[in-house]
Amino acid sequence: MNVLVTGANGYLGQALCPYLVASGYHLVTLTRQPYGLQGTVNIPVPDYLVSLPEQAFVGQEVVIHLAARAHQPGSASKRIDEEYRRINVDTTLAIAHAALRAGARRFIFLSSIKVNGEVTTGLPFRSSDPPKPGDAYGRSKWQAEQALTALFDKTGTELVIVRPPLIWGGAPKGNLATLVRLIDLKIPLPFKSLRNRRDLVSLGNLCSLIRCCLDHPAAAGQTLLVSDARPRSTAEIIWLISSQAKFSPRLVAFPTSLLRLLRHVPVIGTKLDKLISNLEVDIGQTQTLLGWQPEMD
């Protein structure tokens, strides 16, 4: 099968592309910087909106769109919002139009659980829940989902949307990278007694699901949630990434009630809220539709 992958040299792409090549797929990769991976054809594209190579899409059965402006913790400004819109919505649509014109059979879009919201209270997120994105990144992903759904409606190209939570494995990114920096500074982290529940997804499990979405008939037209199916407390997440990075965390007990009060403190409150709250994901629909199961780490 011929597959085109955008953002192939990003965090997920660098895990997914070798995985697909090893599985026998023929890849064309689009990246902003040159990316050399044996068994693939790479086409550097400095700006997808300015110089998108339409010929690269010809003959591609599936397009996997990973390229995006990643979520930046704490970022908030009009300029950042416009950049999210330009890259996560406008660029996504340009690539989708190219895939549609070339007659691609399927378009797989990597979205985010942030479309659903930032925290769960009681019930885990489901794909059927009303979207409640809480920041510019989540809103841009939701806008892209809506635009893609409208574009591919009643066409011969099938849309598959995948919404992962925080991804772990390899070099930590985003919020996990922030935690690694704190661990490396040997700062005591007050999460030892915290019993919250947060779903993550490993690079391996996410690659496995995307591989399944390439040709599974039941994936067509679906919005699929994914996770390791193993909610972890913040303390467990810290130990998980510490073992990956070979750091030794300093966890101390701190009353959960006081941690919750600190959520209202300016600057640190928002970041702390995401560390101590719950974010659970119900992947039952994904498992039932595709017969897919995450591997246990």
**Cβ proximity of 227 and 204 under 8 Å:** no
Q: Please classify residue 31 by burial: count the beta carbons closer than 10 Å to its beta carbon, then call 0-12 exposed, 13-18 middle and 19+ buried.
A: buried
Tokens in use for 202? Answer: 């490993």
Q: Which of 11, 48, 84, 137 is catalytic?
A: 137
| Catalytic-residue membership of 35 | no
The Cα 41–Cα 225 span in angstroms is 30
Tokens in use for 20? Answer: 């697909």
The Cα 16–Cα 5 span in angstroms is 9
User: Hey, is 284 helix, strand or coil?
Assistant: helix
Instruction: Work out whether strand 106-110 and strand 223-225 pair parallel, antiparallel, or are unpaired.
Output: unpaired
Closest alpha carbon to 144 in 100, 66, 88, 94 = 88
Segments in the chain forming alpha helices (H): 13-22, 78-84, 92-101, 136-152, 174-184, 203-213, 234-245, 256-261, 268-276, 284-290
**Residues forming the active site:** 137
